């Protein structure tokens, strides 16, 4: 038997335990008991939950079984309780009291627990199984990344305390007279709300440094069960007229309750909040400042984090990009804190009951579709309380919410005229994978430069022709000063075997941009796929995944997810600013590992993607002027994507378009003084061409995250000042 308690929370007069347990086989069943300190049984509530992650690790595949559990039982402070888990005739006994729970919540204990998890999860049989499936290097990398997680420069709580406004700044905010002081209506649907949590939310509003607000609470609790909320709100109403409360006399559902709260609102802007969460005291000031700085924007959202049940710990910060429409169709990343101008809300309409569970997702889609401007505040302005019933901690507890989310995405596509066949579960619940309908069967021209290395080229071509589902392809191989006789013999043979293969000859010096522009001039396809010769198809639907995005009118270029030979990530999108100029995200992360909020497995818009595998419309390629030939080796694909974006088109990363990329075998490394000098010159060219994004930062990245690593870690406060770009010095 193996088990783990992931979460322990004291909630008023009860304890909630979230965890998992497995036996020798997937069919093993676990039984639970709770005993008090006199060893007497205690009644408890038990809900089984799916834990596909546990199933994959220990049984090597996902079984349709519930290996997780949520247990809740009454708790009297000062007393000791025991959780008994029985499985395969073995019994585990876990002790709980206030002292032990407090100890287990400490940072030091959590770090020790991480080490224990590492030793428990990655040793002996589990390590052997992971290594057998993914290779020893993958096992080493996963273990290394887990250990590196212990050595971050900052624990989030420490980082948050160092970056939040100090008392002097809070006092300044209270005294500042903004040019415009809009009335904010904070609308809160309530339903059987614990008094403690509702008070904490109200107190967080009372503490706001911005004063022109009202709170509108619509209580949908059944008759006789809403007395607590009514009592709490009565207390606040007597002390401050900004607090408003209405008992609805019954539950109208989350959408109906929210609409009732909106109908109470008199404000210029509507701010959505939940009944058991909190706002930092500067939240509304930051929103007011954003309204003044960006009056054209009628939808505003911020970053957020999570708050534990006792309200004493902040964790799991979500630092978001600026508006990212394709990421939004992969996951509801906007969520909180959401502010909507009244006129926009009236255009978009309120919450719809048929999407209950994902009613906010559907609402956000309709608002973003109708918005005149969308602004992102890159600061944590919302603390989302995490407990058993919340999708924040237990997605399985609201599986219906994700099914409603799938329908919300499809409804969004229908309104926007985007043809999608279906929306399925992605890498996890709440992450979506869209299958777009391919219009017709357009010709795709696959453009591959090559200098010798015929084995790589042959593997590349054959992997496409033998594995890819899509067949309307032509191949344009650009011969680039090869020296080996075998190369030219191969060209004759491959053309004879596959009539769709053409060879065109480039006889000048190496210049990636010029070579690919030359190859594109021979292309007859409506779509161009620029591809390195050292790539190999993994996903048979590679072309469908790329075309699904590229056929859209608002998309100009699409990039694939590329893996090294050891199944670690080589490319999952590009952030401008990484390392001073630009770099790939999540380099070296094994594909079996989770990335930051699953970003490596979310379709999304980026500033750029790599042309090692990049699809673009031929018409867009011509409008953009092709690749910039002044950039002979480096950053030419990034520059092309920037030109595409300058045309007002999106650059999309498609994670399910999957290939191996064996990385620059043909060209070699920048390992001579001449190559290094050329590389530095091209850095200067790129910096001269795109100074704004280098100065202001990549809109698809967050300024709170580091530019020195590719893993979306917190920005190092000692080395990088938040809000400032990475300082680059180029010496020629």
Contact 562, 613 (CB under 8 A): yes
Is the pLDDT at 177 greater than 70? The verdict is: yes
Cβ within 8 Å of residue 233, ≥6 positions away: 198, 202, 217, 219, 243, 245
Contact 405, 415 (CB under 8 A): no
Query: With respect to CATH, is domain 2-104 assigned 3.40.1160.10?
Result: no
* Torsion angles phi and psi, residue 4, rounded to 5: -155, 135
- Asked if residue 408 lies in contact with residue 355, where contact means CB atoms within 8 angstroms, the answer is yes
Contacts (Cβ under 8 Å, ≥6 apart) of 612: 530, 531, 532, 535, 562, 571, 637, 661
**Alpha-carbon gap, residue 376 to 374, rounded angstroms:** 7
Please check whether the domain covering 179-416 is classified as CATH 3.90.550.10.
Answer: yes
Q: β-pairing, 473-480 with 2-11?
A: unpaired
Q: What is the mean pLDDT of the chain?
A: 87
Q: What is the pLDDT of residue 57?
A: 75
* Nearest CA among 515, 555, 537, 687 for reference residue 613: 537
Residue 572: burial class (beta carbons within 10 Å; 0-12, 13-18, 19+): buried
pLDDT (average), residues 646-660: 97
Q: How far apart are CA 413 and CA 552, in angstroms?
A: 11
Q: Is the pLDDT of residue 390 over 50?
A: no
pLDDT value at position 644? Answer: 98
What would the pLDDT profile of 393-412 be if each residue is shown by its tens digit?
Answer: 555 545 778 889 999 999 99
Mean pLDDT of the region 547-566: 96
* Paired tokens of 90: 């073995």
Residue 123's pLDDT is 46
* Fold matches, 2-104 and 444-696: no
Residue in 37, 54, 57, 46 with CA at minimum distance from that of residue 18: 46
Task: Return the percentage of the chain with pLDDT > 70, whole number.
Answer: 86
Please state, in angstroms and rounded to a whole number, the distance separating the CA atoms of residues 603 and 558.
10
According to the model, what pLDDT value does residue 154 have? 61
Q: Could you report the per-residue pLDDT of 433-477, keeping only the tens digit for each? A: 999 999 999 999 999 999 999 999 999 999 999 999 999 999 999
Residue-level pLDDT at 101: 62
Predicted pLDDT at 492: 95
Tell me what pLDDT residue 658 has: 97
What pLDDT, on a 0 to 100 scale, did the predictor assign at position 397?
Answer: 47
Residues 49-83 have pLDDT tens digits of 777 778 877 887 777 778 888 888 888 877 899 99
Whether the full predicted model's pTM is greater than 0.85, yes or no, is: no
Which of the four pLDDT bands, split at 50, 70 and 90, describes residue 730?
Answer: very low
- Residue 125, pLDDT score: 47
Number of residues that this document lists for the chain:
732
Strand ranges, E, within 336-403? 338-341, 374-385
Domain with residues 444-696, CATH architecture: Alpha-Beta Complex (3.90)
Phi first, then psi, for residue 426 (nearest 5°) are -90, -140
List the chain domain ranges. 2-104, 179-416, 444-696
Instruction: Phi first, then psi: give them for residue 430, nearest 5 degrees.
Output: 95, -10
> How many CA atoms does the CB half-sphere of 39 hold within 13 Å?
1
Confidence of residue 327 (pLDDT cuts 50, 70, 90): very high
Give 346-359 as a 3 state SS string: HHHCCCCHHHCCCH
Mean per-residue pLDDT, 719-732: 51
CA distance 236 to 202: 8
Whether residue 566 is predicted with pLDDT greater than 70 in this model: the reply is yes
Q: What is the four-CA torsion angle of 190, 193, 199, 203, rounded to 10 degrees?
A: -40
In angstroms, the CA 65 to CA 475 distance is: 47
Residue 425's alpha-carbon distances to 430, 494, 546, in angstroms, are 7, 40, 19
């Amino acid at each position: 038997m193996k088990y783990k308690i992931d979460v322990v929370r004291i909630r008023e007069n009860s304890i909630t335990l979230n965890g998992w347990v497995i036996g020798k086989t997937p069919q093993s069943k676990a039984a639970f008991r709770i005993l008090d300190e006199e060893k007497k049984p205690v009644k408890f509530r038990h809900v089984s939950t799916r834990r596909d992650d546990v199933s994959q690790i220990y049984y090597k595949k996902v079984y349709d079984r519930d290996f997780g559990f949520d247990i809740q039982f009454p708790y009297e402070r000062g007393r000791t309780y025991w959780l008994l888990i029985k499985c395969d005739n073995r019994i585990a006994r876990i002790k709980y009291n206030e002292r032990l729970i407090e100890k287990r919540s400490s940072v030091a204990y959590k770090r020790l627990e991480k080490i224990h998890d590492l030793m428990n999860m990655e040793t002996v049989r589990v390590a052997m199984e992971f290594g057998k499936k993914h290779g020893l290097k993958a096992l080493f990398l996963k273990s290394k990344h887990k250990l590196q997680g212990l050595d971050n420069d900052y624990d989030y709580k420490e980082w948050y305390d160092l970056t939040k406004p100090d008392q002097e700044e809070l006092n300044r905010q209270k005294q500042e007279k903004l040019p415009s002081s809009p009335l904010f209506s904070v609308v809160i649907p309530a339903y059987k709300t614990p008094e403690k949590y509702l008070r904490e939310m109200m107190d967080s509003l009372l503490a706001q440094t911005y004063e022109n607000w009202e709170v509108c609470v619509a209580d949908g609790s059944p008759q006789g069960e809403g007395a607590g909320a009514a009592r709490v709100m009565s207390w606040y109403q007597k002390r401050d007229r900004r607090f408003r409360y209405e008992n609805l006399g019954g539950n109208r559902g989350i959408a109906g309750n929210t609409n009732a709260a909106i109908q109470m609102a008199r404000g210029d802007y509507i701010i959505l909040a939940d009944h058991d969460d909190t706002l930092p005291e500067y939240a509304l000031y930051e929103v007011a400042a954003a309204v003044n700085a960006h009056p054209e924007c009628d939808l505003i959202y911020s970053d957020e984090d999570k708050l534990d049940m006792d309200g004493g710990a902040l964790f799991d910060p979500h630092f978001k990009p600026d508006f990212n429409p394709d990421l939004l169709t992969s996951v509801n990343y906007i969520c909180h804190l959401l502010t909507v101008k009244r006129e926009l809300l009236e255009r978009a309409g309120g919450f719809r009951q048929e999407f209950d569970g994902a009613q906010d997702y559907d609402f956000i889609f309709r608002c973003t579709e109708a918005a005149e401007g969308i602004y992102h505040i890159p600061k944590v302005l919302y603390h989302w309380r995490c407990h058993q019933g919340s999708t924040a901690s237990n997605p399985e507890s609201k599986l219906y919410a994700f099914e409603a989310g799938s329908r919300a995405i499809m409804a969004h596509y229908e309104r926007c005229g985007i043809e999608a066949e279906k929306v399925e579960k992605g890498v996890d619940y709440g992450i979506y994978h869209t299958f777009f309908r391919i219009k017709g069967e357009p010709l795709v021209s696959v453009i591959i430069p090559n200098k010798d290395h015929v084995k790589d080229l042959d593997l590349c071509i054959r992997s496409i022709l033998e594995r890819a589902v899509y067949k309307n392809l032509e191949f344009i191989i650009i011969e680039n000063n090869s020296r080996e006789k075998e190369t030219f013999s191969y060209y004759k043979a491959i053309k004879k075997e596959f009539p769709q293969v053409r060879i065109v000859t480039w006889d000048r010096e190496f210049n990636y941009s010029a070579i690919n522009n030359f190859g594109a001039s021979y292309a007859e396809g409506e779509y161009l796929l620029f591809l390195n010769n050292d790539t190999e198809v993994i996903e048979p639907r590679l072309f469908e995944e790329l075309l699904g995005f590229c056929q859209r009118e608002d998309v100009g270029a699409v990039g694939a997810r590329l893996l090294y030979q050891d199944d670690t990530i080589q490319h999952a999108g590009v952030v401008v600013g990484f390392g001073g100029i630009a770099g790939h995200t999540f380099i070296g992360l094994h594909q079996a590992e989770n990335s930051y909020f699953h970003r490596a497995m979310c379709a999304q818009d980026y500033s750029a993607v790599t042309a090692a595998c990049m699809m673009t419309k031929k018409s867009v390629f011509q409008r953009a002027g092709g690749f910039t030939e002044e950039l002979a080796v480096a950053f030419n694909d990034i520059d092309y994507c920037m030109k595409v974006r300058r045309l007002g088109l999106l650059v999309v990363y498609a994670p399910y378009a999957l290939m191996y990329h064996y990385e620059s075998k043909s060209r070699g490394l920048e390992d001579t003084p001449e190559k290094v000098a050329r590389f530095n010159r091209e850095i200067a060219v790129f910096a001269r061409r795109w100074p704004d994004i280098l100065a202001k930062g990549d809109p698809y990245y967050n300024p709170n995250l580091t530019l020195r690593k590719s893993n979306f870690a917190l920005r190092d406060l000692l080395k990088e000042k938040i809000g400032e770009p990475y300082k680059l010095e180029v010496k020629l």
